[in-house]
């Protein structure tokens, strides 16, 4: 390295060296049933050995790459549990999964020692049309992602630990790998367990929770129902029965999600005036509680729905669905009144800030991200 003259070149080469030295396992030398190299690459990394990696730093990370799929699986420790997400964030899915695993770490403190989370993107999805074609591609990529994870995971056969074939291990024995459902994969657990059985993995159908032998998180709505008990308690302290009286609400998320979707159906008196996720901003200044509930219920049961699927004829005057990629969003008189502003147009992020500061009865955070902080708190960079 002493012969590298450029500081930038030196920094880049050292970073590559750090990544290579942090790699604990790879399936690069494995062959498929036809004796050909597998069409995907799995790299198991120890992130703590990589300088300047954004926190929280996982204990292990498996990176999966193929022409049609990319994904990561992050674990907080050797014994960890968490779901796999079908992400549509092609550019920054790792950032999304890192935020999810941070929350999972907290939630799993009373379940297992630490949390985990995984996610993948279907790189051909933007070129597909039709829900059936997109679903089939998602399932195919999901199974490929599961295979890639198991390629670099130890197995146990008759009580004896068996390392994966054609893999040089630079870490210790590591046979514990489990997955669960998350957004987009709520019905995929049987697919994962079928792959587990095909690999002869020691956990069998305990590898993926959910499926035909387990719980469907979205169908049961356990998380949302628990959170809604707190909502009812808060309203009760204000002298309001939110199950019998209309109230206004702002939401973070969309109806395809488990927590947001279930939560926005738990009272037929919810008047959702605004909501946003990472793709869209939904505005409905004067919603009809009964009509909007029925439409949200339709979206909840529509596979991989988005706010764009909301029937525009059911949105009150001045409302609409806007892309977060827009340069600016025009504010109608009805929306101006709703937000308490005279501005005629604002960028999407500024509009989200206005939504979060609106005078409403309930803020339902069923999405990803932290949007509220105390004045004394700082934002980590």
Q: How far is CA 9 from the centre of its chain?
A: 35
166: left (phi over 0), alpha (psi -120 to 50) or beta: left
- Asked if 117 is an active-site residue, the reply is yes
3 state SS of 89:
coil
Residue 108 DSSP label: G
d(CA 322, CA 341): 18
C-beta of residue 365 within 8 angstroms of C-beta of residue 371:
yes
Residues 186 and 300 sit within 8 Å (Cβ to Cβ): no
d(CA 188, CA 180): 9
Beta bridge pairs of residue 363: 250
Helix (H, G, I), strand (E, B) or coil at 320: strand
Q: How far is CA 8 from the centre of its chain?
A: 34
* Residue in 38, 107, 117, 143 annotated catalytic: 117
Q: Kindly list the catalytic residues.
A: 117
């Amino acid at each position: 390295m002493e012969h590298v003259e450029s500081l930038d070149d030196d920094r880049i080469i050292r970073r590559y060296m750090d990544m290579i030295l942090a790699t604990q396992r790879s399936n690069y030398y494995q062959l498929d049933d036809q004796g050909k190299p597998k069409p995907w690459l799995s790299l198991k990394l120890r992130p703590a050995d990589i300088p300047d990696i954004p926190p929280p730093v996982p204990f292990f990370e498996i990176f999966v790459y193929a022409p049609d799929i990319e994904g990561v699986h992050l674990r907080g420790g050797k014994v960890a549990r968490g779901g796999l997400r079908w992400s549509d964030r092609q550019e920054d899915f790792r950032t999304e999964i890192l935020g999810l695993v941070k929350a999972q770490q907290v939630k799993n403190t009373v379940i297992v020692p630490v949390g985990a989370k995984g996610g993948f993107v279907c790189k051909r999805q933007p070129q597909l049309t039709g829900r059936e074609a997109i679903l089939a591609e998602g399932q195919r990529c999901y199974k490929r992602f599961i295979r890639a994870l198991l390629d670099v995971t130890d197995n146990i056969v008759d009580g004896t630990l068996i390392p994966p074939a054609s893999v040089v291990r630079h870490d210790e024995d590591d046979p514990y790998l489990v997955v669960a459902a998350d957004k987009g994969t709520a019905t995929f657990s049987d697919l994962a367990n079928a792959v587990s059985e095909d690999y002869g993995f020691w956990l069998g159908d305990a590898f993926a929770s959910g499926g035909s032998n387990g719980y469907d998180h979205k169908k049961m709505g356990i998380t949302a129902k628990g959170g809604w008990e707190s909502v009812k308690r808060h309203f009760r302290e204000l002298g309001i029965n939110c199950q019998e009286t209309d109230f206004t609400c702002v939401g973070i998320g969309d109806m395809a999600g488990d927590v947001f979707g279930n939560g926005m159906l738990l009272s037929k008196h919810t008047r959702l005036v605004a909501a946003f996720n990472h793709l869209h901003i939904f505005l409905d200044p004067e919603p009809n509680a009964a009509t909007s509930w029925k439409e949200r219920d339709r979206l909840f049961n529509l596979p991989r729905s988005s706010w764009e699927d909301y029937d525009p004829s059911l949105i009150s005057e001045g409302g609409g669905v806007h892309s977060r990629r827009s340069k600016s969003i025009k504010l109608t008189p009805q929306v101006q009144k709703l937000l308490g502003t005279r501005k005629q147009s604002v960028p999407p992020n500024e509009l989200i800030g206005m939504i979060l500061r609106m005078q409403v009865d309930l803020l339902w955070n069923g999405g990803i991200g932290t949007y509220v902080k105390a004045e004394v708190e700082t934002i980590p960079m």
